[in-house]
Chains A and B, each alone.
Chain A
């Protein structure tokens, strides 16, 4: 594992509740550094999605503190347009339900949306859309509606729409869920490519088959919504007894 200096995210005793009483996360402490390849591993309902949404500044914990880029994150933090722009330009989240993040009637519009928000010139937008659709092999889908695509195609379009703005931190929520083996393999290839380019990739999953390919470090979340263990991927994957106890195998 590489050594890093600057924590991008820091969570101190973070707890999150739905409906004010249903625990979704309990006393989470973690530090994530630039360039790290991380997997959040845990059974269904262990709070992985909630944790990713907290990291993406979409949910705010009732207890504890969240820091991103050395700044404490609260709902009001995003009222500052400069910080909002900086954060949203650098941190992207691929939802488990990608349907919720595809808004435009055409794939090309969907990919350009983020670039338009950044105020790029039309010719630069065209160039970037061309490059990213080439990378994901989705050139033939540009004129189609995102709602008419297969699950795998939708995920590719959603990821292309996020990556086209060249973010530095990529949060992925169950990226291979609902994909056939070939599409899942292809998706893993894209994630690995991002990691090679020095991006920080944080993936929430319960699919043990992909963990060793896309991470060096693993955080295990338990059914009690706490972090049970932090360790090197290989070390954790080899501890079968622990994985069995935590309902992961």
Chain B
């Protein structure tokens, strides 16, 4: 694949697949923690993270996630890849214009304050993703939903999560097939035609999504999955789990008062 459209479609597809597909969960200290405690800890991390102002606190929390990944027997290379591939696509696009818009002492067209603010924003996103990935990579899928249900999220919402996850992967496949089918019939590239084709494809995908949603919904009904989806019973919360939660809240609090 050589042209820009080829490369963009291929990369978006690759990134989404790499970040969304679950991998084998190795038994570790983290995989043994109760799923409800994991969900609560994750919520605490995300909330505290949004209050941290000092870059050092965010960096320490991020490095701690790498350490957790290590003791959770996660392949660190995979963790870094899954964390940082999202950044250029979403956060940087949002944050770059703000560098030139925040008032302060000017230098090279942007201010120091705005630069720190942008770095803080990117690091917050990266740290959040890192913890979410650790959660996903150390918790079986059924337990993730069981944990969400354990903290009071309704089965209906969880079913919507499941269907959304399914649609994304199915749509990626359809989009890829559409693109490859078109590519196999393209003799020479005309940019205007390529743009028209992308517009048409978005329309076709919308129609196919509708058809697909009916099929997936029938697939779920056929297997007896209703809005009252049942998940395995939550495993018992042990004293060790409570200690883990207290330890995480303690660390977060220390980092917070350090601000």
Q: List chain A positions with a Cβ less than 8 A from chain B.
A: 53, 56-58, 78, 81, 84-85, 88-89, 92-93, 95, 97, 99-106, 109, 112-114, 116-117, 119, 122, 143, 145, 147-148, 161-162
Contacts and interface: CB of A to CB of B under 8 A. Distances in A.
Given A88-B222, A99-B173, 6 more contacts: A99-B170, A100-B216, A102-B166, A105-B165, A117-B229, A147-B169
A117 B221 contact: no
Nearest to A144: B24
A112 B173 contact: no
Contacts of A53: 218
Chain A interface SS verdict (over half): helix
Most chain A C-beta atoms within 10 Å of own C-beta, residue among B165, B169, B223? B223
Contact of A147 (B21, B140, B215, B232): B21
Contact of B223 (A81, A147, A162): A162
B44 interface: no
B218 A100 contact: yes
16 contacts: A85-B224, A95-B222, A100-B212, A100-B219, A101-B223, A103-B162, A103-B165, A103-B220, A103-B225, A106-B141, A109-B141, A113-B223, A116-B231, A143-B24, A148-B21, A162-B223
A117 B220 CA distance: 12
A57 B224 CA distance: 11
Contacts of B8: none
B101 to A, nearest CB: 41
Contacts of A114: 223-224
Given A92-B223, A117-B225, A143-B24, A109 B215 contact: no
B226 interface: yes
B22 interface: yes
B21 A105 contact: yes
A95 B232 CA distance: 26
A102 B163 CA distance: 10
A117 B224 CA distance: 8
Interface in B195-220: 212, 215-216, 218-220
A234 to B, nearest CB: 32
B140 A109 contact: yes
A137 B190 CA distance: 49
Interface string B214-246: 011011111111101111100000000000000
Contacts of B218: 53, 58, 95, 100
Contacts of A161: 223
A97 B223 contact: no
B222 A58 contact: yes
A166 B76 CA distance: 42
B230 A101 contact: no
A89 B218 CA distance: 15
Given A112-B142, A113-B225, A103 B22 contact: no
A49 to B, nearest CB: 10
B230 A100 contact: no
A100 B226 CA distance: 16
Given A58-B218, A95-B219, A145-B22, A119 B230 contact: yes
Contacts of B224: 84-85, 88-89, 114, 117
Nearest to B162: A103
